[in-house]
Protein backbone atom coordinates (compact mmCIF):
# COMPACT_ATOMS: atom_id res chain seq x y z
CA UNK A 1 0.00 0.00 0.00
CA UNK A 2 0.86 3.67 -0.26
CA UNK A 3 0.84 5.25 3.21
CA UNK A 4 0.95 8.98 3.91
CA UNK A 5 2.19 9.89 7.40
CA UNK A 6 1.79 13.38 8.84
CA UNK A 7 4.23 14.28 11.63
CA UNK A 8 7.96 13.58 11.81
CA UNK A 9 8.27 12.96 15.55
CA UNK A 10 8.80 9.65 17.30
CA UNK A 11 5.27 8.35 16.66
CA UNK A 12 5.24 9.37 13.01
CA UNK A 13 8.71 7.94 12.40
CA UNK A 14 7.95 4.65 14.14
CA UNK A 15 4.73 4.30 12.13
CA UNK A 16 6.78 4.92 8.98
CA UNK A 17 9.29 2.27 10.04
CA UNK A 18 6.54 -0.24 10.76
CA UNK A 19 4.85 0.40 7.41
CA UNK A 20 8.07 0.02 5.44
CA UNK A 21 9.02 -3.05 7.48
CA UNK A 22 5.74 -4.63 6.41
CA UNK A 23 6.45 -3.99 2.75
CA UNK A 24 4.53 -0.77 2.09
CA UNK A 25 5.56 2.58 0.60
CA UNK A 26 5.57 5.73 2.72
CA UNK A 27 5.48 9.46 2.06
CA UNK A 28 6.30 11.23 5.33
CA UNK A 29 5.47 14.92 5.91
CA UNK A 30 7.06 17.09 8.63
CA UNK A 31 6.32 20.80 8.85
CA UNK A 32 9.77 21.66 10.29
CA UNK A 33 13.15 20.91 8.74
CA UNK A 34 13.55 18.41 11.60
CA UNK A 35 11.22 17.34 14.39
CA UNK A 36 11.66 19.92 17.17
CA UNK A 37 9.07 18.96 19.77
CA UNK A 38 9.04 16.54 22.69
CA UNK A 39 10.60 13.91 20.42
CA UNK A 40 14.02 15.54 20.80
CA UNK A 41 13.43 17.36 24.11
CA UNK A 42 13.52 14.25 26.26
CA UNK A 43 15.82 11.87 28.09
CA UNK A 44 15.84 9.15 25.46
CA UNK A 45 14.85 6.74 28.22
CA UNK A 46 13.03 3.49 27.54
CA UNK A 47 11.52 3.50 31.01
CA UNK A 48 10.15 0.20 32.32
CA UNK A 49 10.31 1.24 35.99
CA UNK A 50 6.96 1.78 37.64
CA UNK A 51 4.73 0.54 34.81
CA UNK A 52 1.90 -1.87 35.61
CA UNK A 53 -0.56 -4.16 33.86
CA UNK A 54 -1.10 -3.62 30.14
CA UNK A 55 1.26 -0.65 30.16
CA UNK A 56 4.07 -2.80 31.56
CA UNK A 57 3.43 -5.45 28.90
CA UNK A 58 3.50 -2.80 26.18
CA UNK A 59 6.65 -1.19 27.59
CA UNK A 60 8.54 -4.47 27.72
CA UNK A 61 7.51 -5.19 24.14
CA UNK A 62 8.64 -1.71 23.11
CA UNK A 63 12.00 -2.26 24.78
CA UNK A 64 12.38 -5.47 22.79
CA UNK A 65 11.56 -3.60 19.58
CA UNK A 66 14.04 -0.82 20.44
CA UNK A 67 16.78 -3.38 21.00
CA UNK A 68 16.06 -4.96 17.62
CA UNK A 69 16.01 -1.56 15.97
CA UNK A 70 19.28 -0.64 17.68
CA UNK A 71 20.94 -3.72 16.21
CA UNK A 72 19.56 -2.86 12.76
CA UNK A 73 20.25 0.89 12.95
CA UNK A 74 23.21 1.51 15.30
CA UNK A 75 22.72 5.25 14.98
CA UNK A 76 19.74 5.15 17.36
CA UNK A 77 22.24 4.55 20.17
CA UNK A 78 20.34 1.85 22.03
CA UNK A 79 21.97 0.66 25.23
CA UNK A 80 20.61 -1.62 27.94
CA UNK A 81 21.96 0.53 30.75
CA UNK A 82 19.33 -0.16 33.41
CA UNK A 83 18.56 2.37 36.14
CA UNK A 84 19.04 3.01 39.83
CA UNK A 85 16.38 4.81 41.86
CA UNK A 86 18.43 6.23 44.72
CA UNK A 87 16.78 6.18 48.14
CA UNK A 88 17.68 8.79 50.73
CA UNK A 89 15.19 8.15 53.55
CA UNK A 90 13.76 5.08 55.33
CA UNK A 91 10.31 5.90 53.91
CA UNK A 92 11.69 5.76 50.36
CA UNK A 93 13.43 2.46 51.13
CA UNK A 94 10.08 1.07 52.32
CA UNK A 95 8.43 2.00 49.00
CA UNK A 96 11.23 0.32 47.07
CA UNK A 97 11.02 -2.80 49.25
CA UNK A 98 7.31 -3.04 48.55
CA UNK A 99 7.89 -2.59 44.80
CA UNK A 100 10.63 -5.24 44.78
CA UNK A 101 8.20 -7.68 46.44
CA UNK A 102 5.46 -7.27 43.80
CA UNK A 103 4.50 -10.32 41.78
CA UNK A 104 5.62 -8.58 38.57
CA UNK A 105 8.91 -7.24 39.97
CA UNK A 106 10.94 -9.84 38.08
CA UNK A 107 9.46 -8.61 34.79
CA UNK A 108 11.09 -5.24 35.41
CA UNK A 109 14.31 -6.74 36.75
CA UNK A 110 13.76 -5.07 40.14
CA UNK A 111 16.41 -5.69 42.79
CA UNK A 112 16.87 -3.73 46.02
CA UNK A 113 20.58 -3.07 46.56
CA UNK A 114 22.64 -1.47 49.33
CA UNK A 115 24.95 1.51 48.71
CA UNK A 116 28.02 -0.63 48.02
CA UNK A 117 26.12 -2.76 45.50
CA UNK A 118 24.75 0.39 43.86
CA UNK A 119 28.26 1.80 43.51
CA UNK A 120 29.46 -1.47 42.03
CA UNK A 121 26.77 -1.08 39.36
CA UNK A 122 27.53 2.63 38.89
CA UNK A 123 30.93 3.74 40.28
CA UNK A 124 30.15 7.41 39.59
CA UNK A 125 27.75 7.38 42.57
CA UNK A 126 29.97 8.58 45.42
CA UNK A 127 27.36 10.59 47.30
CA UNK A 128 25.04 9.82 50.21
CA UNK A 129 22.05 7.49 49.94
CA UNK A 130 20.67 4.54 51.92
CA UNK A 131 20.20 2.15 49.03
CA UNK A 132 18.79 1.88 45.52
CA UNK A 133 16.19 0.06 43.48
CA UNK A 134 17.89 -1.43 40.44
CA UNK A 135 15.79 -1.90 37.30
CA UNK A 136 17.79 -3.97 34.84
CA UNK A 137 15.18 -3.62 32.09
CA UNK A 138 15.43 0.17 31.70
CA UNK A 139 17.32 1.33 28.62
CA UNK A 140 18.23 4.45 26.65
CA UNK A 141 18.46 5.71 23.09
CA UNK A 142 19.85 8.96 21.67
CA UNK A 143 16.76 11.07 21.11
CA UNK A 144 18.49 13.76 19.02
CA UNK A 145 20.02 11.32 16.56
CA UNK A 146 17.62 8.35 16.53
CA UNK A 147 15.08 9.70 14.05
CA UNK A 148 17.55 10.87 11.37
CA UNK A 149 19.25 7.48 11.64
CA UNK A 150 15.95 5.63 11.18
CA UNK A 151 14.98 7.84 8.23
CA UNK A 152 18.31 7.16 6.52
CA UNK A 153 17.72 3.43 6.95
CA UNK A 154 14.21 3.74 5.51
CA UNK A 155 15.35 5.86 2.56
CA UNK A 156 17.81 3.14 1.57
CA UNK A 157 14.90 0.77 0.97
CA UNK A 158 13.63 2.89 -1.92
CA UNK A 159 10.12 2.82 -0.45
CA UNK A 160 10.32 5.88 1.79
CA UNK A 161 10.21 9.58 0.99
CA UNK A 162 10.69 12.23 3.68
CA UNK A 163 9.35 15.71 2.96
CA UNK A 164 10.68 18.19 5.55
CA UNK A 165 9.35 21.74 5.64
CA UNK A 166 6.01 20.43 4.45
CA UNK A 167 2.83 21.09 6.40
CA UNK A 168 -0.34 19.10 5.75
CA UNK A 169 -3.19 21.54 5.20
CA UNK A 170 -6.11 19.26 4.40
CA UNK A 171 -7.11 15.60 4.26
CA UNK A 172 -9.82 14.86 1.71
CA UNK A 173 -10.62 11.17 1.76
CA UNK A 174 -7.18 9.61 1.49
CA UNK A 175 -5.67 12.59 -0.33
CA UNK A 176 -3.41 14.90 1.65
CA UNK A 177 -2.86 18.46 0.39
CA UNK A 178 0.24 20.24 1.65
CA UNK A 179 1.24 23.89 1.93
CA UNK A 180 3.22 23.71 -1.32
CA UNK A 181 0.04 22.95 -3.25
CA UNK A 182 0.97 19.32 -3.79
CA UNK A 183 -1.41 16.40 -3.27
CA UNK A 184 -0.39 13.02 -1.92
CA UNK A 185 -2.73 10.16 -2.75
CA UNK A 186 -2.54 6.86 -0.94
CA UNK A 187 -4.37 3.96 0.62
CA UNK A 188 -3.95 5.12 4.24
CA UNK A 189 -3.30 8.37 6.09
CA UNK A 190 -1.79 8.31 9.59
CA UNK A 191 -1.69 11.59 11.51
CA UNK A 192 0.86 11.83 14.36
CA UNK A 193 0.88 15.53 15.10
CA UNK A 194 2.24 15.42 18.65
CA UNK A 195 1.15 18.29 20.87
CA UNK A 196 -0.60 20.10 18.00
CA UNK A 197 -4.17 19.34 19.09
CA UNK A 198 -5.80 22.10 17.07
CA UNK A 199 -5.83 22.87 13.36
CA UNK A 200 -5.88 19.81 11.15
CA UNK A 201 -6.17 17.37 14.07
CA UNK A 202 -9.25 19.10 15.47
CA UNK A 203 -10.72 19.41 11.99
CA UNK A 204 -10.33 15.68 11.43
CA UNK A 205 -11.09 14.20 14.85
CA UNK A 206 -12.78 16.92 16.92
CA UNK A 207 -11.97 17.40 20.58
CA UNK A 208 -9.84 14.55 21.87
CA UNK A 209 -9.26 13.35 25.48
CA UNK A 210 -5.75 14.81 25.54
CA UNK A 211 -3.94 17.60 27.32
CA UNK A 212 -0.60 19.31 26.86
CA UNK A 213 2.12 19.13 29.53
CA UNK A 214 5.12 21.46 29.72
CA UNK A 215 8.51 20.44 31.10
CA UNK A 216 11.97 21.89 31.70
CA UNK A 217 15.26 20.03 31.29
CA UNK A 218 18.99 20.66 30.93
CA UNK A 219 22.19 19.10 29.69
CA UNK A 220 25.73 19.36 31.05
CA UNK A 221 29.12 19.31 29.43
CA UNK A 222 30.79 15.88 29.44
CA UNK A 223 31.03 14.41 32.94
CA UNK A 224 34.51 13.00 32.42
CA UNK A 225 33.53 9.54 33.65
CA UNK A 226 30.88 6.97 32.84
CA UNK A 227 27.46 7.13 34.46
CA UNK A 228 26.78 3.47 33.74
CA UNK A 229 23.06 3.50 34.59
CA UNK A 230 20.32 6.07 34.42
CA UNK A 231 19.47 7.42 37.86
CA UNK A 232 16.27 8.63 39.52
CA UNK A 233 15.44 9.97 42.96
CA UNK A 234 12.89 8.72 45.46
CA UNK A 235 10.44 11.47 44.48
CA UNK A 236 10.13 9.84 41.06
CA UNK A 237 8.28 6.93 42.67
CA UNK A 238 5.36 9.26 43.38
CA UNK A 239 4.69 9.52 39.63
CA UNK A 240 4.39 5.86 38.60
CA UNK A 241 1.57 3.39 39.35
CA UNK A 242 4.00 0.53 39.93
CA UNK A 243 4.94 2.08 43.27
CA UNK A 244 1.38 2.61 44.54
CA UNK A 245 0.54 0.98 47.87
CA UNK A 246 0.61 1.50 51.64
CA UNK A 247 4.32 2.36 51.73
CA UNK A 248 3.86 5.13 49.16
CA UNK A 249 0.84 6.40 51.08
CA UNK A 250 3.04 6.58 54.19
CA UNK A 251 5.78 8.36 52.24
CA UNK A 252 3.31 10.95 51.00
CA UNK A 253 1.99 11.48 54.52
CA UNK A 254 5.22 11.65 56.52
CA UNK A 255 7.76 13.03 54.06
CA UNK A 256 6.89 16.51 52.76
CA UNK A 257 8.45 17.37 49.45
CA UNK A 258 10.94 20.16 48.92
CA UNK A 259 9.03 23.38 48.24
CA UNK A 260 10.57 23.82 44.77
CA UNK A 261 9.95 20.17 43.87
CA UNK A 262 6.34 20.45 44.98
CA UNK A 263 5.72 23.73 43.19
CA UNK A 264 7.07 22.46 39.87
CA UNK A 265 5.80 18.86 40.15
CA UNK A 266 9.36 17.59 39.87
CA UNK A 267 11.15 14.30 39.74
CA UNK A 268 14.82 13.67 39.11
CA UNK A 269 15.75 11.58 36.10
CA UNK A 270 19.29 11.67 34.76
CA UNK A 271 20.95 9.82 31.90
CA UNK A 272 24.31 10.16 30.21
CA UNK A 273 24.44 10.94 26.50
CA UNK A 274 26.92 9.18 24.26
CA UNK A 275 29.07 12.34 24.16
CA UNK A 276 29.41 12.18 27.96
CA UNK A 277 27.07 14.98 29.03
CA UNK A 278 24.16 14.40 31.39
CA UNK A 279 20.54 15.09 30.51
CA UNK A 280 18.79 16.09 33.74
CA UNK A 281 15.13 16.89 34.51
CA UNK A 282 12.28 17.35 34.87
CA UNK A 283 9.34 19.53 35.83
CA UNK A 284 5.64 19.26 34.96
CA UNK A 285 3.19 22.07 34.25
CA UNK A 286 -0.37 21.09 33.41
CA UNK A 287 -2.44 24.29 33.32
CA UNK A 288 -2.48 26.31 30.10
CA UNK A 289 -1.65 28.91 29.02
CA UNK A 290 1.90 27.90 29.87
CA UNK A 291 4.44 30.45 30.98
CA UNK A 292 7.00 31.27 28.31
CA UNK A 293 9.76 31.72 30.89
CA UNK A 294 12.36 29.10 31.71
CA UNK A 295 12.58 29.20 35.51
CA UNK A 296 15.92 28.95 37.34
CA UNK A 297 14.75 27.46 40.67
CA UNK A 298 14.06 23.96 39.26
CA UNK A 299 17.46 23.86 37.58
CA UNK A 300 19.22 24.80 40.80
CA UNK A 301 17.30 22.17 42.76
CA UNK A 302 17.98 19.38 40.25
CA UNK A 303 21.66 20.24 39.83
CA UNK A 304 22.12 20.25 43.60
CA UNK A 305 20.38 16.89 43.93
CA UNK A 306 22.56 15.26 41.24
CA UNK A 307 25.68 16.67 42.89
CA UNK A 308 24.55 15.23 46.22
CA UNK A 309 24.10 11.77 44.68
CA UNK A 310 27.31 11.85 42.65
CA UNK A 311 29.32 13.35 45.49
CA UNK A 312 30.96 15.82 43.12
CA UNK A 313 30.40 19.10 41.33
CA UNK A 314 28.59 18.91 38.01
CA UNK A 315 30.23 20.07 34.80
CA UNK A 316 28.86 23.35 33.41
CA UNK A 317 25.28 23.37 32.17
CA UNK A 318 25.50 23.83 28.40
CA UNK A 319 21.84 23.67 27.39
CA UNK A 320 18.48 24.38 28.98
CA UNK A 321 15.15 23.93 27.33
CA UNK A 322 11.42 23.64 27.75
CA UNK A 323 9.17 21.26 25.86
CA UNK A 324 5.51 20.34 25.53
CA UNK A 325 4.11 16.85 25.08
CA UNK A 326 0.65 15.44 24.43
CA UNK A 327 -0.93 13.25 27.12
CA UNK A 328 -4.03 11.10 26.75
CA UNK A 329 -6.21 11.60 29.84
CA UNK A 330 -8.34 8.49 29.29
CA UNK A 331 -6.87 5.95 31.76
CA UNK A 332 -8.11 3.07 29.62
CA UNK A 333 -6.01 4.05 26.59
CA UNK A 334 -2.26 3.73 26.12
CA UNK A 335 -2.48 6.50 23.52
CA UNK A 336 -5.39 8.30 21.90
CA UNK A 337 -6.33 6.65 18.60
CA UNK A 338 -9.20 7.79 16.39
CA UNK A 339 -10.29 6.84 12.88
CA UNK A 340 -12.45 9.79 11.79
CA UNK A 341 -12.84 8.53 8.21
CA UNK A 342 -12.19 5.39 6.22
CA UNK A 343 -8.45 4.99 5.82
CA UNK A 344 -7.62 7.99 8.06
CA UNK A 345 -6.13 7.42 11.52
CA UNK A 346 -5.06 9.91 14.21
CA UNK A 347 -2.58 8.76 16.88
CA UNK A 348 -1.46 11.08 19.69
CA UNK A 349 -1.06 11.44 23.45
CA UNK A 350 1.67 9.05 24.67
CA UNK A 351 2.07 11.38 27.65
CA UNK A 352 5.79 11.75 28.17
CA UNK A 353 6.26 8.11 27.17
CA UNK A 354 6.71 8.70 23.44
CA UNK A 355 10.33 7.57 23.31
CA UNK A 356 9.55 4.59 25.52
CA UNK A 357 6.42 3.47 23.69
CA UNK A 358 6.96 4.67 20.10
CA UNK A 359 7.80 1.29 18.53
CA UNK A 360 5.01 -0.65 20.24
CA UNK A 361 2.40 2.04 19.55
CA UNK A 362 3.27 1.82 15.86
CA UNK A 363 3.15 -1.98 15.94
CA UNK A 364 -0.25 -1.92 17.63
CA UNK A 365 -1.60 0.62 15.15
CA UNK A 366 -0.38 -1.45 12.22
CA UNK A 367 -2.08 -4.53 13.62
CA UNK A 368 -5.31 -2.67 14.38
CA UNK A 369 -5.68 -1.16 10.90
CA UNK A 370 -4.43 -4.20 9.02
CA UNK A 371 -1.29 -2.54 7.69
CA atoms lying within 13 Å on the CB side of residue 209: 11
Q: How confident is the model at residue 233 (pLDDT cuts 50, 70, 90)?
A: very high
Does the pLDDT value for residue 331 go beyond 90? no
Instruction: Report all structural domains of the chain as residue ranges with CATH numbers, in order of start.
Output: 1-79+140-209+332-371 (3.50.50.60), 83-136+210-328 (3.30.9.10)
Instruction: Give the pLDDT score at 173.
Output: 94
Count of H-run helices and E-run strands, the chain? 11, 19
Averaged pLDDT for residues 102-116: 95
Instruction: Give the pLDDT score at 332.
Output: 86
User: Among the listed ranges 128-137, 180-189, 270-279, 288-297, which one has the minimum average pLDDT value?
Assistant: 288-297
What does DSSP say about strands 2-6 and 188-191: parallel, antiparallel, or unpaired?
parallel
Task: Give the sign of the dihedral formed by CA 310, CA 312, CA 318, CA 320.
Answer: positive
Task: Give the sign of the dihedral formed by CA 57, CA 72, CA 351, CA 223.
Answer: positive
Q: How confident is the model at residue 348 (pLDDT cuts 50, 70, 90)?
A: very high
Give me the percent of the chain exceeding a pLDDT of 70: 100
Q: Per residue in 20-70, pLDDT tens?
A: 999 999 999 999 999 999 999 999 999 999 999 999 999 999 999 999 999
First to last CA, the chain: 8
Averaged pLDDT for residues 334-347: 97
Q: Per residue in 262-299, pLDDT tens?
A: 999 999 999 999 999 999 999 999 999 998 999 999 99
When the pLDDT of each residue in the chain is averaged and rounded to a whole number, the result is 96
Instruction: Give the pLDDT score at 17.
Output: 98
Amino acid sequence: MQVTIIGGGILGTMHAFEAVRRGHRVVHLEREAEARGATVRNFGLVWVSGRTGAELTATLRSRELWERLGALVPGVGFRAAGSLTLLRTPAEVAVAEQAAARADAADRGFTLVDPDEARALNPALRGKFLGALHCSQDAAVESRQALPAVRAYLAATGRYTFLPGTEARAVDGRRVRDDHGRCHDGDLVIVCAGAAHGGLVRELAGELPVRRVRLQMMQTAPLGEALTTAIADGDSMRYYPGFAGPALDDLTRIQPRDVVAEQHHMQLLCVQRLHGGLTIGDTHEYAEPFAFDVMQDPYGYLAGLVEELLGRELPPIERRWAGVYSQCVDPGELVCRRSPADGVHVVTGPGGRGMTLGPVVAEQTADLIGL
